[in-house]
Chain A
């Protein structure tokens, strides 16, 4: 176990507390940089989606994890970013310009959503953000002169400095990775400065935050704007990756997927966004496996266990019917959320920390270390 002896205030400010972090994150970065030359094109495509989902996850963490304002409307922010890019592309606006414009516009919309949300708490805020998402979805479907309605819009490949960046090529992957890394670094910077602390203060006690001189309304709007802007940037990349966007891609299900990303990853640290994104994106190949291979495997097992050929065939059909049932994905999402909320509220990153601590303290680890203490003195009446 490592003990850190702090000798300077800088020790509590720097991003990497000790050299071990630099080595491990450096190694991770190196692995991510050579990934396009090693992994199959399918896995690379999944990795791009991990980057995009993780970027949205970081944006959502700022709002939900650190400021404590729940949102089920982030699919709408993603849509605004994506459509801004697709719309501006028609006028031959260069990529860096419409990329920034999309983030800026989404940020402004986020701030506008933040104002009515100021008076709402908890479940009411969730409902308000859902309604916002429905409004945006409806506008995208009806405002045909700009969005081409339900026909959707084609998104051309990126032209960057005179070269074409194919959506399947390594350059596009590096672009997504760069956006993710810059987002994370910017967010970490924010969290170690007064604004980030104000967010956390608002999450834990609005009354105390106010009496410490924090303009709660202003910081909530700021949090909405930053969160939306990050999601808008991700939306541009999302549009380019899919090369075609239409209103039915940005539904409530997508917003729920973003919530799953941070809920499963862990809402208290940025690691959660990345781990959650990996988890969520990898559900798809898992479902494909379930559909294609599981029935055969199970019937094979049944046959070796002595079931007749006919019965094994029945089993295979039943499993196949189950695996391709409509709404299986939604059901799996639901089960995952319930399981995590019940058994691991700290998410995957929380589980990782526990495993790490187990080995650091071995053999002295106590299960009660992470047990939450219940406290009943906090008053809610001054909210």
Chain B
């Protein structure tokens, strides 16, 4: 059985088939990229997995558990974290508190304990902070700890979003266009981090990406989508030279 599996996943908006009977599997510890032209349904698949949209039909399995009907907030609790294409950070909070929100799924304290700030809450806060610091070190975010998000440049925000996802200690991470809006050096850093996430932290990565250089450098396998359907699946070079994929990008 695969680690993560989507079976005949469909999302229809009226007559528009954003995702149409897509099936794929992700093996534990691999980096799988989803590519495709704009509007191919890549981000919709992510939104289906993180339960922002309910699927029209089909099922999603994670660690042999059917998660199709789980509420959205339970997805993170199961160990699936994600980033967003357009950056969804908590704008008016500091970087630190953004990252600490990533620890939310690990917090165990009750409301009344927090009102009194009992020693258990204090200890919990320090433990969370320790994990957050590890992520900060991993992603070189030390200069930004106490900065407000609203004052930070786009490239840094992109990294902070990745950091927030990592703070939840996910088993599977969904990266929605991690390199969009980044310059060449920042994209380089991103590709190193994605590979380190796999090799050092043992996280399985599912990513949507347009930048083929990045896809080629990090992916173990690639899926090409168009009009909500799977065109090709396989190693990066196989998929890129697949006649249907070439036709989808260049027009036939």
> Are A and B associated in one complex?
yes
Contact residues of A with B, CB < 8 Å?
9-10, 12-13, 186, 189-190, 192-198, 200-201, 203-205, 207-216, 222, 268, 372-373, 375, 377-379, 382
| Extra contacts besides A190-B114, A201-B101 (15): CB < 8 Å | A13-B122, A13-B126, A189-B116, A192-B125, A193-B114, A194-B114, A197-B100, A201-B104, A204-B90, A204-B91, A212-B76, A212-B168, A268-B92, A377-B154, A378-B87
Query: Are A189 and B115 in contact, CB atoms less than 8 angstroms apart?
Result: yes
- Would you call B129 an interface residue if the criterion is a C-beta within 8 Å of the partner chain's C-beta atoms? yes
Query: Are A201 and B90 in contact, CB atoms less than 8 angstroms apart?
Result: yes
Kindly supply a per-residue 1/0 record for chain B positions 43-57, scoring 1 wherever the CB is within 8 Å of any chain A CB and 0 otherwise.
000010010100000
Chain A's closest residue to B50 (CB) is: A211
Chain A's closest residue to B47 (CB) is: A382
Which residues from chain A contact B52 at a C-beta distance below 8 Å? Answer: 207, 210-211, 382
The CA-CA distance from A355 to B124 in the complex, in Å, is 37
The smallest beta-carbon distance between A229 and chain B, in angstroms, is 11
The smallest beta-carbon distance between A179 and chain B, in angstroms, is 14
Query: Are B125 and A198 in contact, CB atoms less than 8 angstroms apart?
Result: no
Which residues from chain B contact A201 at a C-beta distance below 8 Å? Answer: 90, 93, 101, 104
The smallest beta-carbon distance between A211 and chain B, in angstroms, is 5
Which residues from chain A contact B92 at a C-beta distance below 8 Å? Answer: 200, 203-204, 268
Query: Are B90 and A205 in contact, CB atoms less than 8 angstroms apart?
Result: yes
Q: Which of B88, B104, B129 contacts A214 (CB 8 A)?
A: B104
Which residues from chain B contact A10 at a C-beta distance below 8 Å? Answer: 126
Which residues from chain B contact A373 at a C-beta distance below 8 Å? Answer: 150-151
Q: Which of B89, B124, B125 contacts A204 (CB 8 A)?
A: B89
Query: Are B115 and A186 in contact, CB atoms less than 8 angstroms apart?
Result: yes
- Would you call B134 an interface residue if the criterion is a C-beta within 8 Å of the partner chain's C-beta atoms? no
Which residues from chain A contact B139 at a C-beta distance below 8 Å? Answer: none
- Would you call B229 an interface residue if the criterion is a C-beta within 8 Å of the partner chain's C-beta atoms? no
- Would you call B17 an interface residue if the criterion is a C-beta within 8 Å of the partner chain's C-beta atoms? no
Query: Are A378 and B88 in contact, CB atoms less than 8 angstroms apart?
Result: yes
The CA-CA distance from A190 to B47 in the complex, in Å, is 31
Query: Are A194 and B109 in contact, CB atoms less than 8 angstroms apart?
Result: yes
- Would you call B96 an interface residue if the criterion is a C-beta within 8 Å of the partner chain's C-beta atoms? yes
Q: Shortest 10 CB-CB distances between A and B: which pairs?
A: A213-B76, A213-B105, A208-B88, A204-B90, A193-B114, A194-B107, A189-B117, A210-B72, A205-B88, A9-B129
- Would you call B77 an interface residue if the criterion is a C-beta within 8 Å of the partner chain's C-beta atoms? yes
Secondary structure call for the B interface: helix
Q: Which of A192, A197, A214, A222 contacts B117 (CB 8 A)?
A: A192
Q: Which of B29-37, B78-86, B195-203 contacts A (4 or more CB under 8 A)?
A: B78-86
Q: How large is the interface on B (under 10, 10 to 19, 20 to 34, 35 or more residues)?
A: 35 or more
Chain A's closest residue to B96 (CB) is: A12
Secondary structure call for the A interface: helix
Ordered by A's residue number, 24 sampled pairs between the chains whose C-beta atoms are within 8 Å are A186-B116, A189-B116, A189-B121, A192-B117, A192-B125, A193-B121, A193-B125, A196-B114, A197-B101, A203-B92, A207-B84, A209-B90, A209-B101, A210-B73, A211-B75, A212-B101, A212-B105, A213-B76, A214-B101, A215-B73, A216-B73, A222-B111, A379-B86, A379-B88
Which residues from chain A contact B235 at a C-beta distance below 8 Å? Answer: none
CB contact under 8 A between A190 and B109, given known A204-B93, A373-B150: no
Chain B's closest residue to A225 (CB) is: B111
Chain A's closest residue to B115 (CB) is: A186
Which residues from chain B contact A210 at a C-beta distance below 8 Å? Answer: 52, 72-73
The CA-CA distance from A9 to B96 in the complex, in Å, is 12
The CA-CA distance from A22 to B111 in the complex, in Å, is 27
The CA-CA distance from A212 to B88 in the complex, in Å, is 11
CB contact under 8 A between A214 and B125, given known A194-B107, A207-B88, A208-B89: no
Which residues from chain A contact B125 at a C-beta distance below 8 Å? Answer: 9, 13, 192-193
Chain B's closest residue to A200 (CB) is: B93
CB contact under 8 A between A208 and B90, given known A13-B122, A222-B111: yes
Most buried by A among B71, B81, B111: B111
- Would you call B130 an interface residue if the criterion is a C-beta within 8 Å of the partner chain's C-beta atoms? yes
Most buried by A among B96, B109, B115, B154: B115
The smallest beta-carbon distance between B142 and chain A, in angstroms, is 12
- Would you call B216 an interface residue if the criterion is a C-beta within 8 Å of the partner chain's C-beta atoms? no
The CA-CA distance from A210 to B116 in the complex, in Å, is 26
The smallest beta-carbon distance between A146 and chain B, in angstroms, is 30
Chain B's closest residue to A13 (CB) is: B125
Which residues from chain B contact A377 at a C-beta distance below 8 Å? Answer: 86-87, 154
The CA-CA distance from A204 to B111 in the complex, in Å, is 21
The CA-CA distance from A375 to B100 in the complex, in Å, is 24
The CA-CA distance from A335 to B98 in the complex, in Å, is 36
Q: Which of B50, B71, B87, B115 contacts A190 (CB 8 A)?
A: B115
Chain B's closest residue to A379 (CB) is: B86
Query: Are B97 and A200 in contact, CB atoms less than 8 angstroms apart?
Result: yes
Chain B's closest residue to A268 (CB) is: B92
The CA-CA distance from A196 to B84 in the complex, in Å, is 23
Query: Are A211 and B109 in contact, CB atoms less than 8 angstroms apart?
Result: no
The CA-CA distance from A195 to B100 in the complex, in Å, is 11
The smallest beta-carbon distance between B198 and chain A, in angstroms, is 21
Which residues from chain A contact B75 at a C-beta distance below 8 Å? Answer: 211, 213
Query: Are B72 and A198 in contact, CB atoms less than 8 angstroms apart?
Result: no
Query: Are A213 and B73 in contact, CB atoms less than 8 angstroms apart?
Result: yes
Q: Which of A9, A197, A211 contacts B97 (CB 8 A)?
A: A197
Which residues from chain A contact B114 at a C-beta distance below 8 Å? Answer: 189-190, 193-196
- Would you call B221 an interface residue if the criterion is a C-beta within 8 Å of the partner chain's C-beta atoms? no
The CA-CA distance from A205 to B81 in the complex, in Å, is 16
